[in-house]
Amino acid sequence: MSEKVKKSIWDETGPDRYLGDFNCNAQNLAVLKYVEHAKKQAGVLSNSDLSKIDTFISEIPSNPNVSDIYRYLDNVCGIDGVGIPIAICMLSRSRSGEFPPFDQYVLLGLFRSGVLTQDEYDELARKKISTFSEIYLRKVVKLWLEETASGRKPSHIDESWVLLGKKK
């Protein structure tokens, strides 16, 4: 890839700067704090809020259904400014790429590559939890699993989708 994505959630050393904020067995909280910072580029959530989010993430099964994703987003979105993109990126990074990240560039990249129809793009852009959960699981997670099964690293898949979304 010719262009590098700035402030990637996949920065290997990014969470390290927050490890001192937590006890030694709370590395997941440092990862969540880093992802939030990378996405918001602003203030960070309290440790208590991060612990709640971490608990909700741990409750999602490896093979979730729409109601699992919906429940997670319903519980997490609205915690001190956390919206769907940050919640999904936290899920993705803390579960080591088991789930695809999501933001405006991923959305546009998937649309431009023909993965999403115009109607699906519009629904995901509205960020309504019920329709988001269904399309995210049926289309985005499905493609992500195909790509990771073929050996691609999560960070490379994310970067390719983002770069496609950023093309003028």
- Domain count across the chain: 2
Q: How confident is the model at residue 1 (pLDDT cuts 50, 70, 90)?
A: very low
Q: How confident is the model at residue 16 (pLDDT cuts 50, 70, 90)?
A: low
82 and 23 inside one domain: yes
Of 12-16, 63-67, 69-73, minimum mean pLDDT range? 12-16
Q: Identify the domain boundary among 41, 60, 94.
A: 94
67 and 28 inside one domain: yes
Where is 29: in which H helix or E strand? Answer: helix 27-40
Place of tokens 């999904």: 88
Higher pLDDT, 98 or 27: 98
Q: Is residue 8 a part of any domain in this protein?
A: no
57 and 108 inside one domain: no
Across 114-128, average pLDDT: 95
Q: Identify the domain boundary among 50, 73, 94.
A: 94
Q: How confident is the model at residue 5 (pLDDT cuts 50, 70, 90)?
A: very low
pLDDT for residue 137: 96
109 and 88 inside one domain: no
CA distance linking residue 85 with residue 127, whole number of Å = 9
28 and 83 inside one domain: yes
pLDDT for residue 168: 80
- Look up the pTM and report it: 0.78
pLDDT for residue 32: 80
pLDDT for residue 43: 58
How far lies 100's CA from each of 1, 107, 155, in Å? 19, 11, 10
Q: Name the residue range of residue 125's domain.
A: 104-166
Higher pLDDT, 6 or 30: 30
Q: Is residue 116 a part of any domain in this protein?
A: yes
Q: Is residue 7 a part of any domain in this protein?
A: no
Q: Identify the domain boundary among 36, 71, 94.
A: 94
Residue 58 has pLDDT above 60, yes or no: yes
CB 165 within 8 A of CB 113: no
Q: Concatenated DSSP letters for 87-151?
A: HHHHHHHHTTTSS----HHHHHHHHHTTSS-HHHHHHHHHT-HHHHHHHIIIIIIHHHHHHHHTT
32 and 88 inside one domain: yes
CB 134 within 8 A of CB 116: no
Across 134-155, average pLDDT: 96
pLDDT for residue 41: 61
Q: Is residue 143 a part of any domain in this protein?
A: yes
CB 4 within 8 A of CB 163: no
89 and 109 inside one domain: no
pLDDT for residue 94: 95
pLDDT for residue 19: 64
Q: How confident is the model at residue 51 (pLDDT cuts 50, 70, 90)?
A: very high
